[in-house]
Amino acid sequence: QVQLVESGGGVVQPGRSLRLSCAASEFTFSSYTMHWVRQAPGKGLEWVAVISYDGSNTYFADSVKGRFTISRDNSKNTLFLQMNSLRTEDTAVYFCALPYNSLDAFDIWGQGTMVTVSS
């Protein structure tokens, strides 16, 4: 079935960088917009970024604009989130999410990958 699997999380010092990946399977990845959503420990959901099906359009939350980049490799069915200049407030579980069969809503989610920014 349609599946998303995130990887790349870990512990990183403030100011450093980290790249997250989201491997997609069992659907035509190159046809779908993809999103990243995060959730700080004990907090609510925060949308982070979106990329169009072909990578030509991206949008970011104000909290990450200028520090994070979203990209995709349609030949490898993989979504990326490049996170630079990390801050302690970026500590969260990061989910990739897919509006697959529900208009624009996110009906497919990965399991999440934890990013901890700490000195």
Partner 1 sequence: IQLTQSPSFLSASVGDRVTLTCRASQGISSYLAWYQQKPGKAPKLLIYAASTLQSGVPSRFSGSGSGTEFTLTISSLQPEDFATYYCQQLSSYPVTFGPGTKVDIE
Residues that bind partner 1 (CB under 8 A): 35, 37, 44-47, 50, 59-62, 95, 101-107, 109-112
Residue 105 to residue 88: CA distance in whole angstroms: 29
Calculate the alpha carbon distances from 113 to 19, 38, 52, 67, 102 in Å.
Answer: 11, 9, 22, 19, 24
With respect to partner 1, which residue has the nearer C-beta, 13 or 52?
Answer: 52
| Tokens linked to 81 | 């989130």
Q: How far is the CB of 115 from partner 1 (least distance, A)?
A: 16
With respect to partner 1, which residue has the nearer C-beta, 56 or 75?
Answer: 56
With respect to partner 1, which residue has the nearer C-beta, 12 or 50?
Answer: 50
Q: How far is the CB of 109 from partner 1 (least distance, A)?
A: 4
Q: How far is the CB of 116 from partner 1 (least distance, A)?
A: 16
Calculate the alpha carbon distances from 108 to 24, 59, 88 in Å.
Answer: 11, 20, 28
